[in-house]
């Protein structure tokens, strides 16, 4: 059951208990849509009781409805998840990493009032973010390089795709160097870009070497896991090994990042 609670107009507040059906999920998303009609940005408060159990039909409905919200994530401000169930807290924290533009915090049931007060605060207007992907000029046209500094948004993906497509033109193969200065997650909508999917398909046959400098540990493990499955040769380098990475791709940085 999902009970919609009284709250400020910009806050979608709910108490979740027992079996959660498709109808419950639909009502929660309707409350979200109603709030979005009246507010530029909204926040969420979810009190999850120990008895909460998502049914199969509820899960299916949540997936379908959730896909429709992907392009609206920039209008979400805060999400307070109140629970004593450790697995729900872990999922909420993981979502906080995945949906990096939303401030997600987990509170215990004893902190319910604190969570409600925090999520009830008036949302701040969205900031105009600085670009997080910066193209790096190199000494060879067959080597494309870029730096990631911050959360990756859809417009950042377009910058990278445009640069890569230009690098692909007139060359059978190119090498790529990615410097992960401060990768801080990504806007979910960015990974559903048609341009990105087309570029990835082209890259499978066009990229010979792909050097990744300074990735987070989980990214390093993931890249090393998939490397044997790809025709592109991927190598991971620590920040201190950047010179070796440039040598491997066969170029140097020509000028400062654009």
Q: Please state whether 77 falls in left (phi above 0), alpha (psi between -120 and 50) or beta.
A: alpha
Which of 89, 86, 18 lies closest to 58, judged by CA?
Answer: 18
Question: In the CATH scheme, what is the code of domain 133-249?
Answer: 3.30.750.24
DSSP 125: P
- The domain made up of 2-120 is a member of CATH 3.30.160: no
What's the pLDDT at 230? Answer: 83
Residues in a beta bridge with 44? 12, 79
What's the pLDDT at 170? Answer: 83
What's the pLDDT at 98? Answer: 66
Domain ranges of the chain: 2-120, 133-249
The CA R_g of the chain, rounded to the nearest whole Å, is: 22
What's the pLDDT at 38? Answer: 93
What's the pLDDT at 155? Answer: 80
What pTM value is reported for the model?
0.57
What's the pLDDT at 189? Answer: 53
What's the pLDDT at 188? Answer: 53
Same fold yes or no, 2-120 and 133-249: yes
- Tokens 């870009």 sit at which residue? 193
Per-residue pLDDT of the chain (258 residues; tens, 9 = 90+): 999 999 999 999 999 988 888 898 889 989 999 999 999 999 999 999 888 887 777 666 665 566 566 667 778 899 999 999 888 888 888 877 666 678 899 999 999 999 999 999 999 887 666 888 899 999 999 999 999 988 777 788 888 888 888 888 888 999 999 999 887 666 655 555 555 555 555 666 889 999 999 988 888 888 888 888 888 899 999 999 999 999 999 999 986 544
A 10 A CB-CB count for 53 gives: 11
What's the pLDDT at 55? Answer: 72
């Amino acid at each position: 059951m999902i009970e919609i609670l009284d709250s400020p107009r910009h806050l979608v507040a709910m108490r979740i208990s027992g079996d959660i059906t498709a109808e419950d999920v639909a009502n929660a998303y309707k409350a979200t849509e109603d709030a979005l009609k009246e507010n530029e940005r909204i926040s969420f408060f979810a009190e999850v009781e120990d008895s909460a159990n998502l049914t199969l039909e509820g899960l299916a409905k949540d997936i379908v409805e959730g896909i429709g919200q992907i392009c609206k994530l920039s209008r979400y401000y805060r999400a307070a998840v109140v629970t004593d169930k450790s697995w729900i807290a872990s999922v909420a924290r993981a979502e906080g990493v995945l949906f990096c533009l939303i401030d997600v915090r987990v509170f215990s049931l004893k902190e319910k009032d604190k969570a409600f007060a925090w999520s009830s605060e008036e949302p701040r207007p969205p900031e105009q973010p600085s670009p997080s992907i910066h193209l790096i000029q190199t000494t060879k046209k067959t080597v494309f390089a870029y730096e990631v500094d911050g959360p990756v948004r859809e417009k950042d993906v377009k910058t990278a795709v445009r640069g890569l497509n230009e690098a692909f033109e007139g060359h059978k193969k190119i090498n790529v160097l990615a410097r992960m200065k401060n990768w801080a997650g990504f806007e979910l909508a960015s990974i559903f870009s048609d341009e990105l999917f087309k570029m990835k398909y082209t890259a499978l046959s066009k990229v010979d070497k792909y050097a990744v400098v300074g990735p987070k540990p989980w990214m390093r493990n993931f890249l090393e896991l998939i490397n044997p499955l790809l025709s592109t040769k991927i190598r991971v380098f620590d920040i201190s090994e950047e010179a070796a990475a440039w040598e491997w791709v066969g170029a140097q940085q020509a000028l400062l990042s654009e």
